[in-house]
Amino acid sequence: MKSKQQQGPIQGDRCGICVPIVGPSIEEILSQVQEAVQAKVDLIELRPDMWMKNSHISEEAYISTIVNLVEEVHSKYEKMPMLFTWRTLAEGGETPLSSENYCKLLQAIVDQNIVDAVDVELFAYTDTMGQIIKQAHHQGIQTVMSYHNFHKTLNRDTLHLYAEQMISAGAAVIKFALMPTTSDDVLSVLQFTKELTEQYPQLPRITMSMGKLGQMTRTCGHVFGNCLTFGTLGQASAPGQVKVAVLKQFV
């Protein structure tokens, strides 16, 4: 079992760099983690929805398979902080998973008590998920409550409403990833980030405007209060991600 930092790996007063680990084989997963360790990033994001994409494993077998893969990564790279994320199809994920099994998977990961943080999508929240969040908090696992929109950037009033819902649900970190269609959308995300920072200065926040148009938010978002930026050492997990070597020049 990993001894976790008191506050978790995502802090409100600095911007860390996170590398998604996208697989798909255990050899490739471990190779990507090794690259991340060598690059001295702050955090890795385990993305089993990408690992399972072409695995031909039945959905019923996902949970035990993923738990074993997480254990193997942990056993070899115990000191590397890990964020666990199953991204649903509705929010940009790669593999279908029923709502019931999504909940069971997150429960299994929290029970395993190895990862440092776990992503919970706002619109996947249920009373059962609320209990999982409480358990995670008790065990020192940060819960990152997230909202992704790959089609548009919602108005800031709506985004603030979502932020309030995340906080009410017990989120330790809040995350927003939005697709811009205009430069005004990019500015709106940066303004939203600034407003969150002013309103909840102690609450770590992750924000980004996606795609090529929003790419600048990944390198300058920390100026407005963004606390984690996602970078690549190879394959990206979302549009607009920047190479780690470039990010290190900015954050």
Give the residue numbers annotated as catalytic, written as ranges.
148, 175
Half-sphere exposure at residue 127, Cβ-oriented, CA atoms within 13 angstroms: 0
3-state secondary structure of 49: helix
Cβ neighbours of residue 9 closer than 8 Å, sequence gap 6 or more: 16, 42, 43, 81, 83, 116, 117, 142
Return the HEC string of 137-151: HHCCCEEEEEEEECC
Biggest distance spanned by C-alpha atoms of the chain: 47
Provide the H-helix boundaries in the chain. 26-38, 48-51, 59-76, 99-112, 127-138, 156-168, 183-199, 216-220, 244-247
Pairwise CA distance, residues 223 & 234, whole Å: 26
CA-wise closest residue to 97 among 107, 89, 109: 89
Pairwise CA distance, residues 42 & 222, whole Å: 15
Q: Please return the burial class of 167, using the count of CB atoms within 10 Å of its CB with bins 0-12, 13-18 and 19+.
A: middle
**Residue 248: in which H helix or E strand, if any?**
none
